[in-house]
Amino acid sequence: MDRVSAFDEPLKKLLGGATAKVMAEHLDLHTVGDLLHHYPRRYEERGRLTAMTDLPLDEHVTVVAQVADARVMAFNNGRGKRLEVTLTDGHGRLQLVFFGHGVHKPHKELLPGRRAMFAGKVSVFNRKMQLAHPTYQLLDAESTDEAGATEAVDAFAGRLLPIYPACKQLDSWRIAKAVDAVLPSAQEAVDPLPPALREGRGFTALPEALLKIHRPQTKADIAAAKDRLKWDEAFVLQVALARRRYADTQLPAVARRPVPGGLLDAFDAELPFTLTDGQLKVSKEIFDDLATEHPMHRLLQGEVGSGKTLVALRAMLAVVDAGGQAAMLAPTEVLAQQHHRSITEMMGELAEGGMLGGSDRGTKVVLLTGSMGMPARRRALLDLVTGEAGIVIGTHALIEDKVQFHELGLVVVDEQHRFGVEQRDALRSKGKQPPHLLVMTATPIPRTVAMTVFGDLETSVLDQLPAGRSPIASHVVPAKDKPHFLSRAWERVREEVENGHQAYVVCPRIGDDEDEAAGKKKGKKDAEQEGDKRPPLAVLDTAEQLAKGPLTGLRVEVLHGRMHPDDKDDVMRRFAAGQVDVLVATTVIEVGVNVPNATAMVIMDADRFGVSQLHQLRGRVGRGSAPGLCLLVSEAHEASPARARLSAVAATLDGFELSRIDLEERREGDVLGQAQSGVRSSLRVLSVIDDEEVIAAAREEAVKVVAADPDLEHLPELRLALDALLDKDREEYLDKG
């Protein structure tokens, strides 16, 4: 059998149909290679008793312990039997319970003094921790006398017992047995690391690393195996990304340099403030990229209000100066309209090129969205195809086939995570040559994630806030435990309005018939799985209750994604003009809405939002000279993870710190974009939270390897590993990225 096919062998052949079916359906493991890369989650030290003092409630656990006591109890007037077993590990006690026909076998086997491994879900009954109907495996079944028992325990002592990510249908030790069956194939592992790199860094050989991670003799074995396997994951991924970047450098693009005395200089001369050092530094990085003859691919990340739009606008003006057109792609119509408004305001007469009263150095700035009337749309399309409009701002309507550019030179994508890669790709294909690309995000991204998720983009960070931004105070409002806190929250909103300011109230749901229908369609089972005790609060209901109750007399209006675009725009205009006191909205306001007079925000059911999303929403207040206030309303229990998350948001305004918390909570998922590529995680031991040094070093090595051998002709093993990582879906994801 050749080296590749050993890993591609279906599990069915080695393990039998039933086990292979469970592995495929519940663990997504199909081949020998899949199972060999299904690494232990942790290791129990056999022979040492596992501490029971901190068992996690509602989680599946495996414990190694001794039976202290076992008794059969009758219930239901003697018609039912239950076996209660008490376990001890010398530190704590744990109750086991078996019912009905399940009593006989454990009653015979789980005798006092017996040691075994037990697996089950931890629950509480009568204020005692218990496992109901756990599966178990005796560790000392062969030994009958005390000396034999000691001998059996000694045989296990010091050995490390792998505990695998398991499922209800397949316990950890059954997976361990299956791994034993395929472990000989580890010798056939194809090593992706170039020999010079492997030797230079003193790594264990891959077959040995696989043996050590599954069947370690010592803790040092585990560490050596993890070091090696982390490197494989980081390196192969970084090679894939480095090859994308290399391929991009081979594409032709028109170099775009600002023209002295042109549009950019005229714009800078009119600016009523000086750019921050951060804005100047990032602008230089962008202008250097634009001046090259291959397409820029840059990610611009910065906190809400750090001035990303201004930096992007200066880049667009430089491209217009150099004879190109720039397109800005926004995720929603509200945001596209807002960008159009703020950019034309910033540019003043420079945005009226060719119009009466416009500057002779100016250009036209047009808006293109799906809901525009036909005459306005035709005019915008004509301005684009003739080149009259240097800048166009729009939604995905820009991507339609009908839209033609005279000479597209730069694409700016706002809030990357809201766009499919296909959309970004379609817009890029509208240039005669590939246009330069600038992706903006207000979601702070830890450096390691930027190197992986956005690894095909160079990164610029704006971490300075312009002068004049006010602090935002954030507080958690425990609505269930302390209802009077919620009443006080509405009083605070009134106080802000009385002082001449405005407020937002954010809800997770719109709340109309369509919502209801969607809820019914979802079905009872899904709702139970989500653990929703009640549906999330809705904009329409909340607005009505507030207008009739605690905010009577104030001008309360609603804003949500299902409104007609004209109505949305009308509400936003009136809110911006101060004609609305309180805007009750969905997260449609999360990105880009800028009303400096809005000082307070109340987020209802705040625990239903992610950490980064809460941070984004909060960034809508405190944008003027008055301080901001953000109240996170939640019914979550004080000791719950949801409340801990809200307290973390309330405790810091540092978006990068919060993005780490958000990442730790979600874990990595698939760094190649699970949502966008629909494939399972390629990361098994590498953590984009903890392994920054590994990722940075792997990126450096990957760049060297790809520069020397772009097609990996001399590294067939690496090419093979790359093919395995980049199955069709991921390859497409990277290609479009």
Q: Could you read off the pLDDT of 681-728 as tens digits, one per residue?
A: 456 666 665 677 888 888 889 999 999 999 888 888 888 888 777 655
Tell me what pLDDT residue 491 has: 94
List of residues 6+ apart from 490 with CB closer than 8 A: 546, 550, 551, 602
Q: Which of 57-71, 407-421, 632-646 has the lowest average pLDDT?
A: 407-421
Query: Measuring CA to CA, how many Å separate 403 from each of 159, 328, 340?
Result: 67, 14, 18
Structure tokens at 120: 């089950």
Tell me what pLDDT residue 90 has: 77
Q: Which of 18-27, 131-140, 241-250, 324-333 has the lowest average pLDDT?
A: 131-140
Tell me what pLDDT residue 556 has: 93
**Residue range 441-495, pLDDT digits in tens:** 877 777 667 777 666 678 888 876 666 666 788 999 988 888 888 999 999 999 9
**Which of the two residues, 525 and 42, has the higher pLDDT score?**
42
Quickly state the pLDDT bin for 208 (edges 50, 70, 90). very high
Structure tokens at 707: 């520069």
CA atoms within 13 Å, Cβ hemisphere of 243: 19
Lay out the sheet containing 436-441: strands in order across.
364-368, 389-394, 325-329, 408-414, 436-441, 297-302, 458-462
pLDDT over 70 (residue 72) = yes
Helix axes 333-347, 565-576, angle to 10 degrees: 50
**Residue range 558-589, pLDDT digits in tens:** 998 888 878 888 888 899 889 999 999 988 77
Quickly state the pLDDT bin for 360 (edges 50, 70, 90). low
Quickly state the pLDDT bin for 513 (edges 50, 70, 90). low
Mean pLDDT (the chain, rounded): 80
Tell me what pLDDT residue 674 has: 39
Give me the percent of the chain exceeding a pLDDT of 70. 81
Pairing label, strands 115-125, 128-132:
antiparallel
Q: Which of 4-13, 671-680, 701-710 has the lowest average pLDDT?
A: 671-680
d(CA 733, CA 725) in angstroms, rounded, equals: 12
Go through the chain and tell me how many residues it has.
737
pLDDT over 50 (residue 420) = yes
Tell me what pLDDT residue 358 has: 47
Handedness of CA 221, 227, 231, 233 (dihedral sign): positive
- With beta carbons less than 8 A apart as the criterion, state whether 29 and 35 touch: yes
Q: What are phi and psi of 134, to 5 degrees?
A: -70, 155
Query: Measuring CA to CA, how many Å separate 38 from each of 8, 172, 189, 305, 535?
Result: 15, 11, 14, 44, 37
Q: Which of 161-170, 398-407, 496-505 has the highest mean pLDDT?
A: 496-505
Q: What are phi and psi of 315, to 5 degrees?
A: -65, -40
- Average pLDDT on 107-128 reads 84
- Average pLDDT on 10-20 reads 86
pTM: 0.64
Quickly state the pLDDT bin for 418 (edges 50, 70, 90). low
Tell me what pLDDT residue 128 has: 86
Q: Left (φ > 0), alpha (ψ -120 to 50) or beta: where does 488 sit? A: alpha
Residue 521 CB neighbour total at 10 angstroms: 8
Quickly state the pLDDT bin for 529 (edges 50, 70, 90). very low
d(CA 142, CA 135) in angstroms, rounded, equals: 19
d(CA 243, CA 492) in angstroms, rounded, equals: 55
Structure tokens at 80: 């039912």
pLDDT over 60 (residue 416) = no
Q: Which of 32, 36, 38, 39 is nearest to 12 (CA)?
A: 32
Tell me what pLDDT residue 146 has: 54
